[in-house]
Amino acid sequence: MQPAENLVRKQYLIAPHQIDKLKVLAKKQNTSAAEVVRMAIDAFNPDVPAELNESELFDLVSTRVKEAIADTVTTRKRLNKTLALLGGR
């Protein structure tokens, strides 16, 4: 849990079935309902549609990994050039 001095009190309206679900989740996690809400907010990513199926999710992850690899290759090339310049002095 986050320190109390970093938290701000807010009030939101939720449906009765959401309250029941929140209680169940909090009990399963052995934490407070407020902590479950904070975890849900932290986990939410609006850039990834909720309806992704497994193959779409795999494609998304694959694309992101390929981008990360390409960035790493570019960075390593630049680093090697810089190290070569520094070593040549």
State the residue for tokens 């690899």. 69
pLDDT, mean over the chain? 87
2: pLDDT strictly greater than 60: no
With vertex at residue 80, the alpha carbon angle to CA 75 and CA 84, rounded to the nearest 5 degrees, is 150
pLDDT band at 53 (very low <50, low <70, confident <90, very high): confident
pLDDT band at 81 (very low <50, low <70, confident <90, very high): very high
Distance (Å, whole) CA 35 – CA 3: 12
Distance (Å, whole) CA 58 – CA 77: 28
The closest alpha carbon to 10, from 34, 44, 41, belongs to 34
1: pLDDT strictly greater than 60: no
Q: What is the DSSP letter of 10?
A: -
Tell me the pLDDT tens digit for each residue of 4-42: 678 999 999 999 999 999 999 999 999 999 999 999 998
The closest alpha carbon to 60, from 73, 49, 70, 71, belongs to 49
